[in-house]
Amino acid sequence: MKEFVLRKEPSEKKLEPLKALLGSRSLALVCWNRGLKTLKDIEQFTSDQPLLASSELYDVDGVYRLLVKHKKLNSKIVVYGDYDADGAVAGAVLWRFLAKTLKVNATVYIPDRHEEGYGLNRQALDTLAKSGVGLVITVDCGIRDSAIIAGIMASYPIDIIVTDHHQPSGELPKTVVVHPLYPGHESKNRFTSGGVVAWKVVRYLEDKFSFSHEYSDSVVDLVGISLVTDMMPLIGENREILKRAIRKMRSSPSLGTKVLAEITQVPVEDLSTYHLGFVLGPRLNASGRIGNQYTSVRLLSTDSLFQARKYAQEVHEINVTRQALTKSMLEAAEATRVIVSQKIAIASGEGWEDGIIGLVAGKLMNSLGLPAIAVSIDSAKGIAKGSARSFGDFNITGFFSGFPDIFERFGGHSNAAGFTLKSTDIQILLTAISTEIEAKYSTYIPVNRQFVDSVVSRSELTEHFFEMLSKLEPFGQANLPPIFAVKGKIAQFSLIGQQGNHVRIELETEDGTLKAMAFDGLKYLKKLEQGVQVVLVGKPKLNEYNGRRELTFFVEDVVTNLDNE
């Protein structure tokens, strides 16, 4: 269940200095809610800050030492990546540096999602080792594959370096491991993307091999995509990297970014976190979900405009297919899903596309307001693959850690996880979920609580207001876009759109009329009687049409009263 509540406000005495500084009570509350309580706080948050030294990543020098060794030996080097957007970015960024700057004999290997699955695959590594590969460097994977790594290194004269960002669990690989959560040696930027880890390794190597940062600076826009698509917290160093990324893509984008913006008809100067997460990112993810897993890496790696446009067209077309598959699978999931103990939704189906189940789980979660699991069953092979999504402080990977023995493998982050188990064990999974809930989560109430920063007045919504909000960007995980409420009477409303499912609203407030738009807003009609007092919850936006600016409030909910935190 989604619920909007008004954040607890400080006393007027505490808020007054900030209000006087910013000229707006709502702006003062937005800053206060983000821990920005003084002019110094605001200036530090909105100005550029130095990045952390790459050398603070534990054992990053081990990467340098092994590269020196294998460069002298002229070894074959393989960057072993992942098939999602983060993995594609990490693989492309590291491979381009190795092959084109360091000029070593390097290639990229991306596992097949369906045949090899996520992470290191023993058979694939056997094949690479037998072909004479001397060094494997993982990106965005490997931290949970200590047994596979130990077996390969014992069987062949091969070195393996692990660079990853996923949650470590159990025994760590006994090799060079670069990970921001390395136990006892955690980075100050503990939660970041695989793309950032690979990029920071590159920056360290640029220093050690006496190169400038010209290359790493040139691909920072790609690294920004990895941060947004992998839903990393946009605070601290992540925020600084993403700010640099957005500036880069708006002024002189990498070829991959440029052609993706071109094919999606987004002017590069308008690119934002929204476009990275919902326009460009899904296309990079699509090829790993249902297409050729190498297409996105090739798109981000090539120096040929012709080839880049070819790959961009491919991922664009794959994404169209992905959208249709998602729609049909979601319909099947909604028809078959069960809810365990009123806490978690789970749906499963024979032959569901492995690469789509994460999207289905996310959409189920949003529609039901519950943590959700989608499982693809392959009875012929005797396996089932699942993907789970959760929200708030419900750590879904931690939840699965309560019954690890039923899985052949599992892993993920706090709000997203994946697993593999025997296809005959679906009922065992349901029982294990129910047992775990009753044992540890009986008091858990699945409420996806969204916080409203302030009740804003019409007169506050000035150009200064929006200019100040823009300085708090980029918004995303851990720096959520501000949500506002506005109170008033319904002056009038009308249905618009080809299907008449959007609602245009005019709200009469105490200090003027406000235009509002509720997309897919038919569910609000019962609350929109003319003259009725309502509270609109959402985000105001200042749009420009034909040189004229127009203020619109985009509605996310309509309520009669707004509860306090």
Q: Where are the beta strands (DSSP E) in 432-547?
A: 448-452, 454-455, 484-496, 502-509, 512-518, 533-545
- Please state, in angstroms and rounded to a whole number, the distance separating the CA atoms of residues 558 and 507: 12
Percent of the chain with pLDDT over 70: 100
Of 422, 446, 470, the residue that ends a domain is 446
Q: Where are the beta strands (DSSP E) in 301-403?
A: 338-340, 344-350, 372-378, 383-389
* Contact criterion met (CB below 8 Å) for 161 and 173: no
User: Does residue 15 form part of some domain?
Assistant: no
Say whether both 500 and 374 belong to one domain. Answer: no
Q: Is 476 left (phi over 0), alpha (psi -120 to 50) or beta?
A: left
User: Any idea which residue has 């925020």 for tokens?
Assistant: 239
Classify burial at 531, counting beta carbons within 10 Å of its beta carbon; exposed 0-12, middle 13-18, buried 19 or more.
exposed
Q: What's the mean pLDDT when you consider all of the chain?
A: 94
Model confidence at 545: pLDDT above 90: no
- pLDDT in the model for residue 114: 78
Say whether both 212 and 285 belong to one domain. Answer: yes
Report the SS3 class of residue 137: strand
Say whether both 442 and 454 belong to one domain. Answer: no
Average pLDDT of 116-131?
A: 92
Say whether both 455 and 436 belong to one domain. Answer: no
Q: On the CB side of 152, how many CA atoms lie within 13 Å of its CA? A: 28
Which of the four pLDDT bands, split at 50, 70 and 90, describes residue 448?
Answer: confident
Say whether both 406 and 537 belong to one domain. Answer: no
The alpha carbon torsion through 58, 95, 271, 553 (nearest 10 deg) reads: -50
In the chain, the amino acid numbered 93 is: V
Among 80-84, 185-189, 209-213, 390-394, whose mean pLDDT is lowest? 390-394
- Please state, in angstroms and rounded to a whole number, the distance separating the CA atoms of residues 366 and 345: 11
End-to-end Cα distance, the chain: 16
Dihedral sign for Cα atoms in the order 406, 412, 413, 417: negative
Maximum pairwise Cα distance, the chain:
80
Say whether both 311 and 355 belong to one domain. Answer: no
Q: Are strands 176-178 and 159-163 parallel, antiparallel or unpaired?
A: parallel
Classify burial at 78, counting beta carbons within 10 Å of its beta carbon; exposed 0-12, middle 13-18, buried 19 or more.
buried
User: Any idea which residue has 């072909």 for tokens?
Assistant: 131
Average pLDDT of 278-295?
A: 92
- pLDDT in the model for residue 514: 96
- pLDDT in the model for residue 458: 95
Average pLDDT of 451-474?
A: 96
Average pLDDT of 335-354?
A: 93
Of 419, 446, 473, the residue that ends a domain is 446
CATH code, domain carrying 487: 2.40.50.460
Strand partners, 372: 345, 389
Among 188-192, 449-453, 543-547, whose mean pLDDT is lowest? 543-547
CATH code, domain carrying 381: 3.10.310.30
Model confidence at 393: pLDDT above 90: no
User: Does residue 379 form part of some domain?
Assistant: yes
Model confidence at 292: pLDDT above 90: no
In this structure, what token pair is assigned to residue 48?
């550029």
User: Does residue 239 form part of some domain?
Assistant: yes
User: Does residue 46 form part of some domain?
Assistant: no
User: Does residue 38 form part of some domain?
Assistant: no
- pLDDT in the model for residue 117: 79
Say whether both 439 and 489 belong to one domain. Answer: no
Average pLDDT of 395-415?
A: 89
Q: Where are the beta strands (DSSP E) in 170-281?
A: 176-178
Say whether both 65 and 191 belong to one domain. Answer: yes
- pLDDT in the model for residue 1: 61
The boundaries of the domain holding residue 371 are 337-446
Say whether both 84 and 222 belong to one domain. Answer: yes
Q: pLDDT (tens digit, 9 = 90+) per residue, 36-54?
A: 999 999 999 999 999 999 9
Domain count, the chain: 3
In this structure, what token pair is assigned to residue 528?
């929109």
Percent of the chain with pLDDT over 90: 86
Average pLDDT of 388-392?
A: 92
- Please state, in angstroms and rounded to a whole number, the distance separating the CA atoms of residues 259 and 315: 11
Of 383, 415, 446, the residue that ends a domain is 446
Q: pLDDT (tens digit, 9 = 90+) per residue, 90-118?
A: 999 999 999 999 999 999 999 988 788 78
Identify which of 255, 231, 257, 227 has the alpha carbon closest to the alpha carbon of residue 243.
Answer: 227
- Please state, in angstroms and rounded to a whole number, the distance separating the CA atoms of residues 104 and 95: 10
Say whether both 226 and 172 belong to one domain. Answer: yes
- pLDDT in the model for residue 375: 97
User: Does residue 407 form part of some domain?
Assistant: yes
Q: pLDDT (tens digit, 9 = 90+) per residue, 244-265?
A: 999 999 999 999 999 999 999 9
Say whether both 434 and 456 belong to one domain. Answer: no
Average pLDDT of 450-460?
A: 96
Q: In sequence order, what are the residues at sequence separation of 6 or more whose Cβ sits closer than 8 angstroms to the Cβ of residue 310?
A: none
CATH code, domain carrying 166: 3.90.1640.30
Average pLDDT of 380-406?
A: 92
Q: In sequence order, what are the residues at sequence separation of 6 or more whose Cβ sits closer than 8 angstroms to the Cβ of residue 481?
A: 475, 539
User: Does residue 295 form part of some domain?
Assistant: yes
* Contact criterion met (CB below 8 Å) for 237 and 188: yes
Say whether both 100 and 249 belong to one domain. Answer: yes
User: Does residue 290 form part of some domain?
Assistant: yes
Which of the four pLDDT bands, split at 50, 70 and 90, describes residue 492?
Answer: very high
Identify which of 19, 21, 1 has the alpha carbon closest to the alpha carbon of residue 9.
Answer: 19
